[in-house]
Structure 1
């Protein structure tokens, strides 16, 4: 008679055994975006197409509404990764932060705003802004700094040649333009296209086309998080790169259909037209690498606006090794 032997596992050993057998474990990442914007289409594609899941990540997206609150969430541990303007990493660094934010994956590579006029301007030139009332963005933020940079490049002194308004909160700028006396406003999509469709404004120029390549919106995290979770950051970057490639290969309408759940109050045709504008001016980065030329362009824009607190070298606040590894593999 054969003697049957049973494997007896004590509770602690059993837990270890079951953990080793579980190959479907995911890593949770708290992701904070500075605002909800069509400009961030590849990020929503990465979520909706399951690219994060393919990399073993469970991404919890929260909108933190503003650069200051987004960076506070990141630096305090309320978020693991932040999607925000790369200028914020320079502001934090200049405050002698011990554990400052590192830019590791670029999402957008141009300004995302458009110049919208209240009245039709079929023959618009930048000189038309002279002596006008211009409703701008928050002082020290990328939209405002790029706006001022473009105006100066076109011979307009924003503080002397026009009436520049900067006292309206970001979320209230569209409403203030409609109800106020401003002749021009700087708007993101899809608001710019919605205004044009409804006859409340007319798109006359693109700040993205005028300003050139700049690391406008970037994924960043604390250096300590990279040190402790490098594999997760690499996996995150892989998912973003997949999304960037998918956006490049697919039509604006197909992209709009995928990200429509994030913009339930906007018609599909407006989403499609807005995405097409961004694709035409190469606003969506095709890969996550933030190169030195773009970084220097950012600093030039900040310096021109009088907002550069320190001349921080590219290698100090930008990690390209992760993105390069992702692309090469």
Structure 2
């Protein structure tokens, strides 16, 4: 009897050890506290609970991220939804489908070198260190500036020839009077006395599908169960980040930002949470899709309007939210 039980236990253990998690190759457009719920899902074991191992790569820029996805260098991409519009407007054989929203506002902050009280008119005639043409930070930035009657191409000395990954370094080196920066760079620069956060583009621009999980249509068709489990892990983390205190969040994020103090991580995460930049669920609404295309059209970057029902699939998001 004891021998039989021992054999059963050993056999069960071997079966458990042989059961491997599904690996998802995930490409993120940059490394930012703006994407905190994704890192939380990794660090707090939410992906592990769903039988998923994440192979995370940082591709530093929307164009590079989409190239990685299209060339099968990744299975899923976390990037601005505008990249899916650029690709799908060319009618590829394998469309790019947006299936879960991670952030729902712009994630950049306007930094000024001087601490004097800020007015948007102060930007006129200034040197503005902008973002990549056609990318979400630049398009949202232009949209917000125009709401304040500032034409970025006429009223500013706009610099756009610096690679995305080097913008923060360029500002730190003295280029530009104003710059758009993500966290944690914005808070770090304040701490270092390099500038001051004077406005939030996220608060100014409204709900936008700023960063979204997307994949090729063929991948989604072949991995229905996996995508549901992936989306469930993200939803768990979205709920978690609105329930926990900033210090707990910082502890979870710190392995992804080893050169950043936990105080800065906590401050940056709280700043994003307070302005509800983190989506509270993975549902990608038509309102957000339409707002995105309006902003792209305003910037002169919209190739053509694309149908929401064709390129956004909330199947898995609806499933996990309604469980």
TM-score by length of 2: 0.94
Q: SS state of the match for residue 110, structure 2?
A: strand
Write out aligned runs for 1:1-329 (5 A). 24-121=19-116, 123-329=117-323
Q: SS state of the match for residue 279, structure 2?
A: coil
Q: SS state of the match for residue 240, structure 1?
A: helix
Q: SS state of the match for residue 60, structure 2?
A: coil
> Aligned partners of 1:171, 1:27: CA distance in 2, in Å?
31
> Aligned partners of 2:104, 2:98: CA distance in 1, in Å?
13
> Aligned partners of 2:251, 2:14: CA distance in 1, in Å?
39
**Which consecutive residues of structure 2, in runs of 5 or more, have no partner in the other structure?**
1-12
> Aligned partners of 1:135, 1:144: CA distance in 2, in Å?
10
RMSD between superposed Cα atoms in Å: 1.6
Alpha-carbon offset, residue 19 of structure 1? 10
Q: SS state of the match for residue 32, structure 1?
A: strand
Post-superposition, which runs of at least 4 consecutive aligned residues in structure 1 deviate over 4 A?
18-23
Alpha-carbon offset, residue 100 of structure 1? 1.6
> Aligned partners of 2:16, 2:42: CA distance in 1, in Å?
27
> Aligned partners of 1:178, 1:283: CA distance in 2, in Å?
25
> Aligned partners of 2:279, 2:262: CA distance in 1, in Å?
23
Deviations 1:222-267 (A, max 9, x none): 1101111110000000000001010010111111111101000011
> Aligned partners of 2:302, 2:181: CA distance in 1, in Å?
24
Deviations 1:3-35 (A, max 9, x none): xxxxxxxxxxxxxxx998888432111111111
> Aligned partners of 2:208, 2:16: CA distance in 1, in Å?
46
> Aligned partners of 1:179, 1:39: CA distance in 2, in Å?
24
TM-score by length of 1: 0.92
Alpha-carbon offset, residue 178 of structure 1? 2.6
- For residues 280 and 19 of structure 1, do their structure 2 counterparts lie closer, same or farther at Cα, with a shift above 3 Å needed? same
Deviations 1:176-205 (A, max 9, x none): 113234110111111111111111101100
Deviations 1:95-131 (A, max 9, x none): 221102100000000000000001112x211111011
> Aligned partners of 1:142, 1:315: CA distance in 2, in Å?
22
